[in-house]
Every structure is written in structure tokens, then in C-alpha cells.
Amino acid sequence: MKLILLGAPGAGKGTQAEVICERLAIPAISTGNIIREALKSGTEMGLRAKSYMEEGKLVPDEVVIGIIQDRLQQDDCKNGFILDGFPRTIPQAEALDKMGVAIDKVIDLEVSDEAIVERMSGRRVCENCGASYHILYKKPEVEGKCGKCGGALIQRKDDHPDTVRERLRVYHEQTEPLKSYYEKQGKLRVVQGQDAVEETTRLTLAALED
Ligand code: AMP
């Protein structure tokens, strides 16, 4: 199955992507994680993306389209994949279509802006593997430590309130139009994000059957 997870930054796409990835045994591909990795290892692409990312802006389309093109050619994508955080603009969605990638479903995770600002301030991510936690809603077993790889949990620079507001503005302006793009193709399934992660997961898995 070829899936897209759509939704505002902080809507919980990463967490749902992890669940679907295990359930369907297909890779979850996060352009945000790929860019953060590139930044850590200091590649040219990472350096190019750095300022956009830190200011809460989108990295230019041609950069992320190149990333996705390379990633989808890898062997583990043969039986499908979940795209988390791509596409984020209409030209990115059009590029996927042009690559001949036939998306089966687009899950749109809906969460209000106020809830997102509150969530983001409590979000912590593993600096090693990128797994996502929350100081109230998804606590790690050991405080400050990733349950998957033991890495340190940190707050992302772009999760600070001012940057979050900018990311939400960019989301409404550039990413939200994708909802009608995929609705017209009959692929959109809307999931209302819930306070309890397990409940959102239940709704997401039901939407996959729909
Ligand atoms: P994320 O982890 O998905 O919230 O992504 C973090 C940041 O990476 C975004 O705020 C953008 O700066 C950049 N980014 C990730 N995916 C994309 C994309 N598809 N298009 C443009 N920029 C992206």
C-alpha cells in the first residue's frame, strides 16, 4: 500500500506513521527526518536546508523532490511505503504523479491550531533515531531517554512557539490545499486527532480499511 500522511506539523503524523509501518511492514519515510540526518552529517543538501528549517519555512521543492525520488527507488519501497511530511505543496504532489507513483490513500490528521501549539511545546524527540515523545501524552519509560534506542530526548529548535506559529501559517497557506487535491482524486480519508494517542491510532487503522 502506498500512503501519504497529511496534517499540520505536530498533528501526530510521525507517531501514526510508526504504527502503520509496523502493522503493514512497509517503510515510513519522513522528509523531515532525512533532512535532519543530512544536517547532522553536514552534507551539502543539509546545509542548504538548514536556514529554511530553523525559521519554520519549507525547504525548496526541488530539494525535497530529489530526496523522495532517490528514496523511493530503494528496494524496501517495492511493496509500498508511508510518506510522512511529503508532499507539502501542490508542485510536490504533482511531482509524485509525474514520477508515476500511484498513491492508494491519503490520511489527513486533523488537529486544531491551539492544540498543536500546546502539543509542540511538550514534544521531545530522540536525537539519535528521531522517535517522538511528549512530556504529558506519550512519556518515555525513563525520563529523557528514548525507549527504542536509548538516545537522549531533546526539544527540536523548530518546536519553539514562535517557529511553531510560522510553521502553522506555512501549513495553512501551502499544504492545506493538498486536501482538496486528493479529495478530487477520491483518496482523502479524514481522521480527527484525539487527545489519547491510542484512540487516534484506532481511527487511523480504521481509515486504512475504508
Ligand atoms: P517535519 O519533521 O516533517 O515537521 O519537517 C521539519 C522541517 O523540514 C519542515 O519545517 C521543513 O523546513 C522541512 N521539510 C520537511 N519535509 C518537507 C517538504 N516536503 N517540503 C519542504 N520542506 C520540508
pLDDT of residue 144: 95
- Cell numbers linked to 38: 543530512
Residue 183 pLDDT: 98
Residue 160 has pLDDT above 90, yes or no: no
180 CA distance to ligand 1 centroid (A)?
20
**Domains in the chain, please, with CATH?**
2-26+79-209 (3.40.50.300)
Ligand 1 atom nearest to 53, measured from its CA: 12
Distance from C-alpha of 5 to C-alpha of 107, rounded to nearest angstrom = 5
| Ligand 1, atom 5, residue with closest C-alpha | 32
Q: Give the pLDDT confidence of 37-48 residue by residue, as tens digits.
A: 999 999 999 999
The pick from 29, 33, 35 for probing ligand 1's pocket by mutation, whose C-beta has the most ligand atoms within 8 angstroms, reads 35
Residue 10 φ then ψ, to 5°: 85, 5
pLDDT in tens, 97-140: 999 999 999 999 999 999 998 888 899 999 999 898 999 888 99
What's the mean pLDDT when you consider all of the chain?
Answer: 94
